[in-house]
C-alpha cells in the first residue's frame, strides 16, 4: 500500500500521464494526417470573425458540423489559428491541459491532494484531448472563478466566469459562487464590467455591426442545437437523455428533469451558516461542475472532463476514512464514465448499452445526489473554516 501511495502522489509520474496521454493522441493524429475537425472549426471561428463571415453557417469546404462558440472565442483562438495546423493543434491541446492543471493546483486543499485529482482525471482529459475540445479550459475557468473568490480577488473571479459564459455558456454556472464572496457588490459590478468588455472585444478584429449580429446568430444557433441534440446518439449524454432511452420516453421535456434538479441544487444553499466552511464550499464547487454537464442537452463524451473534475475534487474532500460506498461510487465513475469510451472497455457493452442508453451520465448523477446529501446533512462542526492555500 505504501508503494501504491507513493506512486499516486508521484508528481513526475502523474504529470507524465496528464500531458503524455493527451500529447500522444494529438501527435499521432498529426503524424498520420488524421485531421482534426473540431480544431478546424475553432480556427475558423477566428478566420470568419476577421473576414466577417457568418460563424454559424455550414462551411463544408472547410469542415463538417457547425460552430457553436461565441465570437469572443475568436480572440482565444487567434494565437493558435495563425500557426500551421500541425503546430497549432498540439499547442491547443497542451494549453487546455496546462490551464486545467493550474486551476486544480491552486485549489484551497491540502498540499499535494491536487496530484491525486489530476491522476483521477487524466484519462478523462485524454478523451477531451482526443477530440481537441475546449472543455478542459471551460472546467478550468469555473474552478478559477471559485479560486479567485476564495482569494478575495472578485474582479478576476468575475472575469473567469464571464469568459466561460461568453465562450460556451457553461461558465455561467460559476455565478453559483456569488454567495461565497465577501464583497458581493464588487463581484456583481465586476461581472457587469467584464461582460461589457467581452461583448465588444471581438469588435477589435471585426466590426461592431457584425459582432452584434453574430450574437443574435449565436442565440438562434443554440436554440436549434438544443432541439437537434434530442435526436443525436453522441449528444445529450445527460440524465434527460438517459431517461428518454431507458424508459423510451421520447417526448420528455428537458425542464421536467432540470426543474427538480434546480430545486435540489438550491436546497444546498439552505445551510447559510456553512457558507464560510471550506469543505462545504468545495462541495458546492463539485456540485456545480457535475450539474453543468449531467443536465445539459449539449453534453457529449468529451464534455465530461468538466464533471469528472468535480468527481475527483469531491472524493478528495470526503471525510477520512472514506466509506466502502464512496469508494464504489468513484470506481463506478472511473469504469463507466471515464473508461467506457476507450479501447480498455468491452466494445459490445459500450456500443449496445453505454452509448445508446447514455449511461456515461449515471455515475456522475449518483455522485451528484451524494454531494447534495452531504451539503444538507454533513457535520462540518469539527472542520476548519475556509482558508485559501497558495501553491508555490
Residue written as cell 436554440?
A: 223
Segments forming the whole domain that contains residue 39: 2-377
57 within some domain: yes
Return d(Cα 235, Cα 211) in angstroms, integer: 28
DSSP 323: P
172 within some domain: yes
pLDDT bracket for residue 384 (50, 70, 90)? low
How much is the pLDDT for 2? Answer: 63
161 within some domain: yes
158 within some domain: yes
Cα 168 to Cα 72, 128, 138, 162, 164, distances in angstroms: 10, 15, 8, 10, 6
Mean pLDDT, rounded, for 178-191: 96
Q: What is the pLDDT of residues 262-275, one digit of tens each?
A: 999 999 999 999 99
Cα 282 to Cα 14, 155, 369, 371, 392, distances in angstroms: 23, 20, 15, 10, 21
Residue 385 phi, psi (nearest 5): -65, 165
60 within some domain: yes
Answer yes or no: is pLDDT of 390 > 70: no
Q: Name 277's bridge partners.
A: 385
pLDDT bracket for residue 33 (50, 70, 90)? confident
Cα 265 to the center of its chain, rounded Å? 18
Residue 277 phi, psi (nearest 5): -90, 125
Answer yes or no: is pLDDT of 55 > 80: yes
pLDDT bracket for residue 116 (50, 70, 90)? very high
User: Could you tell me which of 44, 46, 203, 8 has the C-alpha nearest to residue 122?
Assistant: 8
Residue written as cell 484531448?
A: 129
Residue 313 contacts residue 106 (beta carbons within 8 Å): no
Residue 204 contacts residue 175 (beta carbons within 8 Å): no
Helix (H, G, I), strand (E, B) or coil at 182: coil
Which residue intervals of the chain are DSSP H helices? 2-8, 11-31, 37-51, 73-81, 85-105, 113-130, 135-150, 154-168, 184-200, 208-229, 239-246, 254-267, 278-294, 304-316, 324-332, 347-349, 362-377
Domains in the chain, number: 1
Q: Quick one: cell of 369? A: 445526489
For residue 389, how many C-alpha atoms fall within 13 Å in the half-sphere facing its CB? Answer: 16
Residue written as cell 498529426?
A: 30
pLDDT over 90 percentage in the chain: 82
Q: Quick one: cell of 77? A: 483562438
361 within some domain: yes
Return d(Cα 308, Cα 273) in angstroms, integer: 28
325 within some domain: yes
Cα 359 to the center of its chain, rounded Å? 18
Based on the number of CB atoms within 10 Å of its own CB, is 91 exposed (0-12), middle (13-18) or buried (19 or more)? middle
21 within some domain: yes
Amino acid at each position: 500500500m505504501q508503494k501504491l501511495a507513493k506512486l499516486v502522489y508521484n508528481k513526475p509520474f502523474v504529470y507524465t500521464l496528464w500531458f503524455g496521454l493527451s500529447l500522444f493522441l494529438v501527435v499521432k493524429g498529426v503524424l498520420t494526417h488524421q485531421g482534426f475537425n473540431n480544431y478546424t472549426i475553432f480556427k475558423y471561428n477566428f478566420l470568419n470573425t476577421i473576414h466577417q463571415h457568418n460563424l454559424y453557417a455550414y462551411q463544408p469546404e472547410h469542415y463538417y458540423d457547425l460552430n457553436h462558440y461565441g465570437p469572443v472565442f475568436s480572440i482565444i483562438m487567434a494565437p493558435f489559428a495563425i500557426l500551421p495546423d500541425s503546430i497549432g493543434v498540439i499547442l491547443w491541446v497542451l494549453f487546455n491541459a496546462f490551464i486545467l492543471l493550474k486551476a486544480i493546483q491552486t485549489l484551497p486543499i491540502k498540499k499535494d491532494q491536487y496530484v491525486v485529482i489530476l491522476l483521477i482525471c487524466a484519462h478523462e482529459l485524454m478523451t477531451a484531448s482526443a477530440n481537441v475540445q475546449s472543455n478542459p479550459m471551460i472546467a478550468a475557468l469555473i474552478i478559477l472563478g471559485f479560486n479567485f473568490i476564495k482569494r478575495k480577488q472578485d474582479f478576476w473571479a468575475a472575469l473567469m466566469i464571464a469568459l466561460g459564459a461568453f465562450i460556451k455558456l457553461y461558465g455561467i454556472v460559476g455565478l453559483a459562487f456569488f454567495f461565497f464572496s465577501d464583497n458581493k457588490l464588487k463581484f456583481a459590478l465586476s461581472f457587469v464590467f467584464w461582460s461589457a468588455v467581452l461583448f465588444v472585444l471581438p469588435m477589435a478584429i471585426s466590426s461592431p455591426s457584425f459582432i452584434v449580429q453574430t450574437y443574435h446568430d449565436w442565440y438562434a444557433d443554440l436554440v436549434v442545437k438544443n432541439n437537434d441534440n434530442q435526436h443525436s446518439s453522441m449528444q445529450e449524454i445527460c440524465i434527460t437523455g438517459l431517461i428518454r432511452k431507458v424508459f423510451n420516453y421520447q417526448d420528455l421535456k428537458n425542464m421536467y428533469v432540470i426543474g427538480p434538479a434546480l430545486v435540489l441544487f438550491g436546497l444546498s444553499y439552505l445551510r447559510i451558516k456553512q457558507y464560510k466552511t471550506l469543505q462545504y464550499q468545495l462541495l458546492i464547487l463539485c456540485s456545480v461542475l457535475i450539474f453543468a454537464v449531467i443536465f445539459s442537452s449539449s453534453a457529449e463524451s468529451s464534455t465530461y472532463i468538466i464533471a469528472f473534475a468535480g468527481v475527483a475534487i469531491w472524493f478528495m474532500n470526503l471525510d477520512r476514512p472514506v466509506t466502502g460506498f464512496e469508494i464504489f461510487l468513484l470506481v463506478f465513475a472511473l469504469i463507466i464514465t471515464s473508461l467506457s469510451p476507450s479501447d480498455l472497455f468491452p466494445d459490445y457493452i459500450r456500443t449496445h448499452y453505454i452509448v445508446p442508453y447514455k449511461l456515461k451520465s449515471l455515475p456522475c448523477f449518483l455522485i451528484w445526489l451524494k454531494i447534495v446529501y452531504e451539503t444538507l446533512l454533513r457535520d462540518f462542526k469539527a472542520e476548519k473554516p475556509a482558508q485559501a492555500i497558495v501553491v508555490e
